[in-house]
Amino acid sequence: MAVDLLLGLQWGDEGKGKIVDVLTSKYNIIARFQGGPNAGHTLEFDGIKHVLRTIPSGIFHKDSINVIGNGVVIDPVVFVQELDGLDQFNLDYKSNLIISRKAHVILPTHRLLDAASEISKGKAKIGSTLKGIGPTYMDKTGRNGIRIGDLELDNWKEKYRALANKHEAMIGFYNVDIQYDLKEMEDEFFSAVERLKGLQFIDSEEYLNQALKSGKPILAEGAQGSLLDIDFGTYPFVTSSNTTASGACTGLGVAPNKIGEVFGIFKAYTTRVGSGPFPTELFDNTGAEMARIGHEFGAVTGRPRRCGWLDLVALKYACQVNGVTQLSMMKGDVLSGFKTLKVCTAYTYKGETITHLPFNIEAENITPIYTDFKGWKDDLTTMRDVSEFPKELNDYIEFLEKELEIPITIVSVGPDRTQTINR
């Protein structure tokens, strides 16, 4: 057996949670491999909308095991809030939710450090979610972080105290006005840790490799999007982990030759939350209308998403670095009613026309070159079969398939499970 991957190909918010939810029935194990509570995977079914942050999107399927891999960073406080949100569904998460001992823990002081760092940047801020993700990964690479397995040791609170004291000294270095009550934050944190310790901790790389040996199909679920990858994203406006396919190997402990299908998820247009370059961003009524129809607000932060036309140059790049084998196009229904659709097929870069993503895509360096397509008026949300699609939508999809040289096997026409059409 192999590990199949599901990845976002833009700046996050592509609809990964929904597709994982749809695909879960085909897999025994769903595994998160990077990121933390900065993720917001939205699932809608039976009239219920639910947002998951750290817990894999297979949690609502009673027959699936959900693994949080070593590449994930976990905030016990947020995690417990997620568990509380699941209690209404009577899920047996103590049986089907397991956590890698090598996953790192987000401390209260990590969140404070995140806030202090972002405030100190002023207008140069990167748009952090302020969840403590960056500082936790910094401690990981700095080799002084606290891992889930440490919570099983008798001296873990001593390790905590030493690290928290170090963080407080660092907060002072930033010299910004940040008000906090650390004792109150710690009381909440320690209480959450005790609840967390009631779940199963595992040596996840051994667990997953044994599962592969026994023939169990595994789906690895990524968070954020490929253009937010620490190496291959629009640096420095990126997250602190590898959101691309390579991150699944390091974040789960599976070898590259164990990777099977790579499912890439993209929106029929493009969105971005927070700061950073966005070549196809729209600042007119068209962009505002996209945001309104698509309900473009961050699932975790609530921040409005910036909207623009599909950037095919960036999408090709993401497909390339991930080795995507199948594509899912999300939110096709949002484009209904626009007379003309545009797709960015090249950039003007330093006086030249290029079709690859350059080192710098700031607005002063590049201008998008668009190809126009005729739009459609049909309401896609009621459609349940490809045969119902308007010709203009099929033309749009077929153009993208030809350019990307990858089949678009799923088209989403609404947020619910049932609004997912296989091609």
Active-site entry in 4, 21, 41, 50: 41
DSSP string, 404-419: HTS-EEEEE-SSSTTS
For the beta carbon of residue 256, count every other beta carbon within 10 angstroms: 10
Active-site entry in 13, 139, 311, 333: 13
**40-67 burial by CB neighbour count: b if 16+ within 10 A, else e?**
bbbbbeeeeebebbbbbbbbbbeebbbb
**Maximum pairwise Cα distance, the chain:** 65
Q: How are beta strands 65-68 and 29-32 bridged, if at all?
A: parallel
Half-sphere exposure of 70 (CA within 13 A, CB side): 18
Q: How far apart are CA 373 and CA 357, in angstroms?
A: 23
Q: How far apart are CA 367 and CA 352, in angstroms?
A: 10
Measure the CA dihedral 204/205/211/215, to 10°. 150
Tokens at 197, concatenated: 């310790």
Contact of 274 with 11, CB cutoff 8 Å: no
Tokens at 380, concatenated: 């896609």
Q: How far apart are CA 334 and CA 328, in angstroms?
A: 15
139 as an active site residue: the answer is no
41 as an active site residue: the answer is yes
Unique residue bearing structure tokens 């009621």: 382
Contact of 364 with 351, CB cutoff 8 Å: no
Closest CA to 322 of 249, 384, 387: 249
Q: How are beta strands 310-311 and 340-349 bridged, if at all?
A: parallel
- Beta sheet of 259-267, edge-to-edge order: 200-202, 97-100, 65-68, 29-32, 218-221, 3-8, 259-267, 326-330, 408-412, 420-422
Q: How far apart are CA 62 and CA 89, in angstroms?
A: 11
Beta bridge mates, 42: 51
Catalytic site positions: 13, 41
